[in-house]
Structure 1
């Protein structure tokens, strides 16, 4: 049980710190205070250290014995490259889901899409949105592709729809179109919708980061 709790804290710390780096709230060059982060998450140093090591493997922070932990950050261009790669993977997942998803799986995806729509304007829409996309990925029935997506999707801030509430209706429209394409077993259209959905999100985040970079790091803290 203790291991499970530590894992949960590590994952939460990694996700939160990753979000802050991806959105510019922790800009490149920022020194991370291990004790402050430990206090923030009300935990021991071990899961926080593990979270920071995870981010170092992703190239977002540098962990050095003497100089401590420093944010490397990620450029808007690298963000867009990452979203482009994620878009390709997501598009492939949607195409395979159109060909491979069972009828019960399609019914579940319709229910999940409806759940996302029902939460429009609510903070809970983010979690519902993640569940919908995860099930689309699983419906591709490709463990190898799913592993690649799990790595690539880390570039998407978990609070994306809170950062860009104007994307809510756009996302819901894309979901409806994707559900239609999956139901029609139209792999070509499903791929196009899935890839476009991710690229549009990447462009929004990239533009936002470029805009905030001209205003200073304090502008990204919200």
Structure 2
């Protein structure tokens, strides 16, 4: 029970802090400390520490040599470019997987993950933490299907950049209906990519994987546009890449 409560607190701290960074409440250069944040959020230091470490992995925070963390500064153009670059690399991975023939065990594991994601859409409120976990596993397997250590390493490098992770999005309950539609469309793209790989259609697999990443880019550009309204989730960057 205690472990489950700590996990829930850590997730809440992660979502809260990520949103504050993305909407500018915690601008670049801001120093963050576990004790102060734990007091502000009304939870213990342990889940705050876990949340800060996760945000550092997402490249939203830098570890301060003197202790604590510092919010990183980033430009919108950098966000768009990193998503575009991830699409190029994953597109190449998908093409190589199709041309070389993806290992059967990886295809089987991917199928199980897609079925797992399907079950998440069968409940009234989607489990975003569960989706994030399965989605990240899918993209990891996609990279591994390329059977290229160089490509696997470079994809791991790019997803460490701000917002380039396939699951770098916000759990914004106010946009639940739109969110489910977006994730369902992403799931259809997942299946199309794997289908192309299975049928050894290299060019099609590459094109589909790149388009999959572009959906995240378009979402970021819309949320930062003048056309976006508060109900759309702006000014937060709900990066919905699967």
Give TM-score, length-normalised by structure 2. Answer: 0.66
Three-state SS of the structure 1 residue aligned to 2:73 is coil
Superimposed CA distance per residue, residues 168-198 of structure 1 (whole angstroms, 9 cap, x where no aligned partner): 1210110121121011011111111111101
> Which structure 2 residue ranges, 5 or more long, are not aligned?
1-10, 173-178
Map of 1:9 onto structure 2: none
C-alpha separation between the residues in 1 aligned to 2:92 and 2:183?
Answer: 23
> Which structure 1 residue ranges, 5 or more long, are not aligned?
1-11
Pair 1:36–1:179, CA change in 2 (3 A): same
More helix by share: 1
Contact 1:19 1:159 in 2 (8 A): no
Pair 1:162–1:33, CA change in 2 (3 A): closer
Are 2:200 and 1:201 equivalent residues in the alignment? no
Are 2:104 and 1:103 equivalent residues in the alignment? yes
Map of 2:117 onto structure 1: 116
Give the drift of 1:127.
1.6
CA root-mean-square deviation: 4.2
Superimposed CA distance per residue, residues 70-107 of structure 1 (whole angstroms, 9 cap, x where no aligned partner): 53432221110111111111111111222231223222
C-alpha separation between the residues in 1 aligned to 2:79 and 2:114?
Answer: 27
Contact 1:29 1:70 in 2 (8 A): yes
Contact 2:83 2:213 in 1 (8 A): yes
Three-state SS of the structure 2 residue aligned to 1:125 is helix
